[in-house]
Structure formats: C-alpha cells, structure tokens
Amino acid sequence: MALSPYLLFLVAVVAVSTSAVTSATKREGRAGEDLRLPRDILPRSYEVTLLPILIEGNFTTEGYVSISVDCIQSTNNITLHIADIIFNPMDIALTDLTTGQFVSISNVVEDKVRQFLILTPNVQLLAGRQYRLSMTFISILNNELRGFYRSNYNENGTTKYMAVSQMQPTDARRAFPCFDEPNMKANFTMKLGRLTTQLSTSNMPVKETTPIADRPGYVWDLFETSLPVSTYLVGMMVSEFTFIDSPGGLSTTPFRIWTRPEAVSQAEYASRIGPQVLSFYEEYFQIAFPLPKQDMVALKDLSFGGMENWGMITYRETALLFDPVKSSESDKQRVVTVVAHELAHQWFGDLVTMDWWSELWLNEGFASYMEYIGANYVEPEFGLIEQIVINDIQDVFGVDALESSHPISVEVNDPNEINELFDDISYAKGASIIRMLNKFLGEQSFRAGLTNYLNERKYSNAVADDLWSALTAQAIADNVNLPVDVRTIMNTWTLKMGYPIVTVTRDYATLAATVSQERFLLRSNPNSTDETVYRWWIPLTYTSDFSQPQKSTWMAFEQPAIQISNVGASNQWVIFNVDQVGYYRVNYDNANWNMIIAQLLLDYQQISLINRAQLLDDSLNIARVNALPYAFPLELTQYLTKEQDYIPWTSALNGLSYLDLMYIRTAGYGEFKGYLTKLVTPLYDYVKFNDTVGDSHLLIYTRVTAVTWACKLNIGDCVSNSVNFYQAWMNDPTNPTIVPVNQKATITCTAIANGGDPEWDFAFQRYLDSNVAAESSKLLFGLSCSTDSLTLQTLLEWSLDPTSGIRRNDASSVFINVGSNPIGRELTFDFIQTRWSDMVAYFPSLYDLARIVDSVSEGFNTPAEVEELKQLQADHADELGTAARAIDQSIERSESNVEWMSLHYQEVLDWIQQNP
C-alpha cells in the first residue's frame, strides 16, 4: 500500500520546515541537569488516536493526541516528553478551556538529549486554568521492542505483522507525545485504527467501531475511557490474533487470552489459572479488581517476560502458553508464576503506582513475592512457598554480596539509570525482605496493612513511607510486639545495599551465645571510601528442635553484637534463621558446625527442608569468602548421598557449581568431578532417567536436576539414554512424544555435545519449525552445547542476524548459553570485544549488553582475564554510562575468583583427595 495522502503531506512539510523547530541535540555533561519534567502543568486526560501501517516499507503510525492539562502554577512554557516522533510544529494547537480561545505558540524546542518537547506560548498560562494541547504526528513502528513497535510471526508460510506496545519504563513517549512520568497519572481514551481483517485491544473494552473515512477496509476502534493510569501502563495491540474466553465461574471479571491463531490451543492452561489467581487476589487484598475486563496476550517478541499494562497484560509466549505434549513441568511453573506476578501488579503497580522509579521495588518486589502466594493458591503441590528460598533469596545473595551492588531504593533520573533498576535487587531482594516483613508482622496484620495502604493510595502514587505507615498503624492496632516502628526497621534493609552475616559463638558452659552482625562481602576493598554503617535491624529466630516452637529476638541496628541466654543444651546443635525467613547468612563456631554435620549424617530429616538448603548455601558461600574452613561445608555435603529432596539439592549444586566453574579449566578438575559424581550418582539412581505416570511436580524437578548433572558429569547411563532418545527423534522428527519432554533440554545438549553437524542441524531446524516457544528455548539452549568452536561462532553470528530465524529477544540467551559452555566462554568474550558496536546496535539497551558480559565472565579467574574486563570497560566507558555498574560487578566478581584460586584451590583439592 502506498503512503497515505496525509503521511505524504506531513513528511513533505517536515522536510521543508525543520527551521520551525529548535532541536537541542548536544549538551555539556549531566552535572546538575534536571531530567525530570516540571510540575507546573499536569495532565488530566488524553485522547490518543493511532493508525499503525503494517506494510513492508512503511512501518509507521499516523497519530493524533489531545491532552487536557491543569495549570498548577502560572508558567511560560509547557514541557512534555517526545522521542523518535516526526511532527510539524504548525500542527500543534493549544486552547484555553476556560475561555475557549486558542493560545498561539511562539517557539517549539525539541531537546533530544532529555527527550523533551518544550512549547512556549505567547501569553503566560495561568494557575487554576485548564488547557488542551493537541498535535498530529508520525511515529515509527520500530523493531526494537519498545514504544509502539512491530512484531511478526509465521502462519502457514506467510509472514504476519502486528503492532503492540511496551511502554515501561520510559517509552510511551515513542508512541505519542506525553507526560511520561509515573506520578503524572491521567485518564486515557484510546482510538486504534485497523484493517477489518484485524482486531485490536487496549486497557479498556471497545466502546464502538466505525469505518475510517476515505480509507476503505479500515475501521476505528474507540475504547472506553480508562481510570487514572500512568503512561507506562498504557497497552494496545493491532493484529490478526484470535482469543479464547476463560471458562465461566472462575472470576467475575471477563477474561480473554490472545494468541496467534496457530497457538490458540496452548492458551487453555492460562485461561483457567488466570481468573482463579485474579479472584484470589481480590480476596487476599480485600479490594475488587476495578476494571471491566482482563486481557492477557502471548507475544513472540517482548523485551520482558511479562508487562502489566492495566487490563491488557502482555507476555512472551514462554510465559503464557503451555502445550500439554511439548511443554515441560518447568514451563508450566513458569506460566503460573509469571501470570501470578503480572496479576499481582494490577494492584501493586497499577492501582497504586510507585511515585518515581527509585521506588521500583514497591512494584516489582511485591509482585515477585505475591507470585509465590498466588501461584501456590492454584498449584499447591508445586511447593512454591519453599522455592522462593532457592529462586530468590539465595540467588540474589550473590549480587548483593558485591561492593558494587546498590540499595533497593536508589535515586535515578536518566532513562538508562532507570533501566538498570530492573535487576535482581528490585525483584528478588524486594521479595525477600517483604517475606521477612510478613513473618515478623504476622500474616493477618500484614494483609490488613496492605489493604489499608492500597485503599489509601488507590488511583494515585506512593512512596515506601506510605506503606511503612500503614503497616505500623496495623501493627499497633493488632498489638504486634515490635522493637521500633516498621519504617525504622525496613529502612535499614531498603536504603543501604548488602546484607549481614550473623555469627553465633556459643558458650557451652553457660548455654549462652554471642551473636554478632557484619556485612557479608564477597571481596572487601581495603581502599573503599564508603562510610555507610552496615548494620541492620535483624529479626533473629533459632531452634534446637524443629518439632518445637521457634525462639526469637531482635538485634538492633545499633548493636554489633548481643548476648542470648539458654540457646540450647551443650550437646545439642542450634540453628538460626529458621526456614531462612531473615535476609542474612549464619556462621557458627566449629563445635556447633560439627554437631549439625553429625545430625545430617545420622538423620537429616530432623532438620527442616528449608534449613537443610540454608546450611548448604550458607556454609559453601561463607567458606568462599574465607570465613570458614572448606572442610565444614564439604563434610556437610557428604550427607547428600542420602538426600532426595529438590530444595536442598538445588542449594547444594548452586554452591558446588561455583567450585565446578573454578576447577573446570584446571588440572584438578578430574578429582573434583569425581567427588561430584560420587554425590550425584545415588540421586540419579533413585530418580532414574524417565518420568513415570503420577510423578509429583517436585519429583520431576529433582529428576531434571539429577539428569542434568549426571549428563554433565558424563555418567554413562545418562549419556547413552540422551544419545539414544535423540537419535530416535532424528529418525522420526514429527513424533512429539519420542523425547521425554522434561529432559528435552538435557537430551538435546548431550546429543549435540557428543555428536556432530547432523545433530546440530537437526536441532536448529526443529527450532525454526517449532510452534511452541517453550520447546524452542530448550532447543536453542541445546544448540549452544556444541564442542565445535566454528559452530558456536556461527551461532553467535546468527543471533545478530534478523534473517537467521533467531528472534531478537532470544539473542541474549544465545550469548549467555554459549558463554556458559567451557569451549564457548573465551570465544563469546572475544566476539563481544570485536563486535561491540554491532551488539550495541542490536540490543534494546546497553544494560542488556552489560548483563551478557557479566554472565559470560562469571568463570573468569585469572589476572589476565580481569585485565581484559577492565580494558573492555575502559574502551567503552563513554557509551556504557550507568550500565557500567554491571561491568563493575563483573570485575569485582572476577577479582574475587582470582583470590579464591590463590586461597582455596589447593585446600579443596586436598580435602577431596583425603575423602575419595
């Protein structure tokens, strides 16, 4: 289709009228520069009209926006956001709604650095009056997964294009000019143009559909006006998707799942669990979902796993679709947890939105915590309440042990700084401290306080102090015994980075213990200039008998150490941090460690499931930082030959993975591998290779873990099973049931590692042909397991080639997967160094690239490799900007690895040789 007459006109006008707009594209530094919008003009309501043109050679959107604004303080200009939008300044109109008169605009400035559009009217705008700002524009339907962007999929050999939005955090300004800050909420009336063969959806239901004049075959969908919402939560889509309605009786809110037509059969699981989780949250928060419908959309291309647009949530296909034949148990868990996460956002983030991005954790931490609660409601047998310990708490401990970590709440202004906050600290640490908060307040007070907070701040914005005030008031009302108010306790966890290691030193004669706290650091910098006092308000819990009620006390921020009397009999172990509720590690004196080890070897079930996981994770990491001889965690691991539960095994293997990473390129790897094989073999023998009917979710998870490691360690039965299953699949490629679905990733990886080009080519073709995104991700992982460096190099090249069949949002996974292959690690880092500019151009943000560097360099443990990292950072310091923190973390981790090799390499090897 040719360009529309209006588009031809506007492009021509812009081409000859650029002098009418002052463009500020260069500025001197950022020191003191205000990157926030002024508050003298605030939006009240938007009318947004968008007509996406989904035709090759013309991926654009014709747009119109009308914004009603309140003048809060008299001013001489209006400043709003705009980015990558073509407009004619002569088409900008300003009306005084009090007088009905047009206000002429004397100057238009586009500040491209700050992404500001600054309009100067001829007269002063007066406080207390309302104005209406309107303009036409053209935006680009980019393929960068941000703003209003284009995506595509294949249907019966035909490429289908669609337009969909991803506004978070600062990309609504790429879709239409707007006041693009979370605390500038407004009502939105959306109007989307589409072909009659397409459908559209947005935050609210369609109000009416009318033909587009002079545009045969096109119609307008006008949507109901929204409740007050932040710009980053505006959602919209124009596509040839279809939808299914959820079964009746699961929710009072109409629910639809949108997918490409060929994938609609995979939407059934989400259509059942989504309404149930929504109804559960309504009861949990005691607040009804306020919108008239809820759509959930499965996309091939999305920069996040899910995006919580109010009433129109978008997901990657892997996070929403489930195929009963080709999807695994882990795929099912991913769907239920991501759905529960995004639906939790409908309250935490959408109904009540953080005031500014520095409080992002209020959104993401709560959603990350509630995903376990909501998912557990619909899938109680998944053991999700326990899994938060290994998925979030123990995982984020690794990042938060770095001096280059950051507080949960941190000041940000630049869009790049904001992007950087979407990390484990905001999500996993946020969830971890909220879980801790829940436990010391009690479930009843916690929930009642949340309800009060949400009701007090609904349709508005909040800061952490609003939450602390609501919870403190509820704690007082319920007579909860707290040493100080909630704000005082929680500020020690949110306003400083890191976490404590609590050291328990027992006096076996008096039965007392000295308990001290200090910051747990992976590596302490003797030249640090950080003057922060790293102490916390710590809720201590402890027990010597898990069949009895736990004991508890508080360690105050002012107390580096306290004395606790009667912690337990002199011949009985004591364990602190019951069920790892507190966000801290625990170390003990040698005698207590020895009693714990003896108990585990004698009868490990006398210690709770979570605390077995905690002991493994804590001891291995405390030894890693030279605060405990490695003999203690290694002797503790010997009980694993009896352990059969998923949670402790995951903690153990996560800790032992670090040792594996340190040894894998050394002469000592054979002996270390032998010790790991001794531990893993009994578990593999117990779970076997194949699933059986009736296996529980966590038994399947345990089997996946055992098979993954058994094949990694080249245990013969595992390797031969994998190769045989894969060969049978190659002989019958259209049979989806030949390969056990839960082992497909390991089978593919093992067969390719032990095969050649035919095995690799087969997997790549299956990746291209697969209609199930979850299966595609497993195949993509398997492709990275090749032992041929040329093949791995080709895979990296193809990940940056949009014509290769590897989708843009899969590219980072390729680099991380190849970089985790011992053969591919150096190759991947070399590729990053030589193809830096190409990767910068391909990935949505520099922070994505910095995260790849961080992952690939995880096993760096030589001085030369540290220098390479430092050189990479120095070479691109100007480009990296705030994303440099991720490289700082890579360098810090690698330097600690170098120290570890010096201090502990021989120590661990000696112990293994003495304990064959």
List the one residue out of 569, 627, 640 whose CA is nearest residue 600. 640
How many whole angstroms from its chain centre is CA 323?
A: 23
Residue of 793, 812, 798, 715 lying closest to 754 (CA atoms): 715
Helix (H, G, I), strand (E, B) or coil at 265: helix
Which residues are tagged catalytic?
342
At 12, is the pLDDT very low, low, confident or very high (cuts 50, 70, 90)?
very low
pLDDT at residue 414, as a whole number: 82
Question: What is the per-residue pLDDT for 22?
Answer: 64
* pLDDT, tens only, 800-837: 998 999 988 899 999 999 999 999 999 999 999 999 99
pLDDT for the residue numbered 19:
37
Q: What integer is the mean pLDDT of 888-910?
A: 96
| pTM beyond 0.85 | yes
Average pLDDT over residues 56-78: 96
Instruction: Report pLDDT for 741.
Output: 96
* Number of neighbouring beta carbons within 10 Å of residue 500: 21
Task: Give the model's confidence band at 850: pLDDT under 50 very low, under 70 low, under 90 confident, else very high.
Answer: confident
Give 280's contacts (C-beta < 8 A, 6+ positions apart).
Answer: 374, 377, 378
Question: Does 845 score more than 80 pLDDT?
Answer: no
How many Å apart are CA 229 and CA 232, to the nearest integer?
8
Q: Over range 373-402, report the average pLDDT.
A: 97
Partner residues linked to 542 by β-bridges: 551, 576
Q: What is the average pLDDT across 337-366?
A: 97
Average pLDDT over residues 36-64: 96
Letter for the amino acid at 221? Answer: D
How is residue 310 written in tokens?
Answer: 């109010």
Give, rounded to a whole angstrom, the gap between the first and last alpha carbons of the chain.
Answer: 73
The pLDDT tens digits of the residues spanning 224-237 come to 999 999 999 999 99
> In the prediction, which pLDDT does 23 show?
61
Complete edge-to-edge strand list for the sheet that includes strand 561-564: 561-564, 512-519, 500-507, 585-588
Q: CA–CA separation, 741 vs 227, rounded Å?
A: 44
Give 483-503 as a 3 state SS string. Answer: CCCHHHHHHHHHCCCCCEEEE
SS (H, E, C) 711-760: HHCCCHHHHHHHHHHHHHHHHCCCCCCCCCHHHHHHHHHHHHHCCCHHHH
- The H or E element containing residue 651 is helix 646-663
Check: CB of residue 104 under 8 Å from CB of residue 122.
Answer: yes
Lowest average pLDDT, out of 299-308, 549-558, 590-599, 884-893, goes to: 884-893
With a cut of 50, say whether residue 121 has pLDDT above it: yes
**Tens-digit pLDDT profile for residues 436-445:** 999 999 999 9
**Binding positions for Zn(2+):** 341, 345, 364
The angle at the Cα of 821, spanning 817 to 827, to the nearest 5 degrees, equals 90
- Closest residue by Cα to residue 86 from 117, 114, 113, 56: 117
**What is the rounded average pLDDT for all residues in the chain?**
94
Angstrom distance (rounded) from CA 21 to CA 390:
54
**Whole-angstrom distance, CA of residue 101 vs CA of residue 95:** 6
Given a cut of 90, whether residue 521 has pLDDT beyond it is: yes
What pLDDT does residue 847 have? 74
At 105-119, the pLDDT tens digits run 999 999 999 999 999
- Lowest average pLDDT, out of 494-508, 644-658, 844-858, goes to 844-858
pLDDT for 843 equals: 84
Q: Give dist(CA 467, CA 438) in Å, integer.
A: 13
**Long-range interactions of 21-30: CB distance < 8 A, separation 24+:** 21/89, 21/108, 21/109, 21/110, 22/107, 22/108, 22/109, 22/110, 23/109, 23/110, 23/112, 24/109, 24/110, 24/111, 24/112, 24/113, 25/112, 25/113, 26/113, 27/113, 27/114, 30/414
Neighbours of 574 (CB within 10 A): 21
Residue list for the binding site: 341, 345, 364
In the predicted structure, residue 7 carries a pLDDT above the cut 60? no
Rg over CA atoms, the chain: 29
CA distance 476 to 211: 59
d(CA 507, CA 47): 71
Sequence-distant (6+) residues with CB within 8 A of 734 are none
Contact 408, 426 (CB under 8 A): yes
Position 73 scores a pLDDT of 98
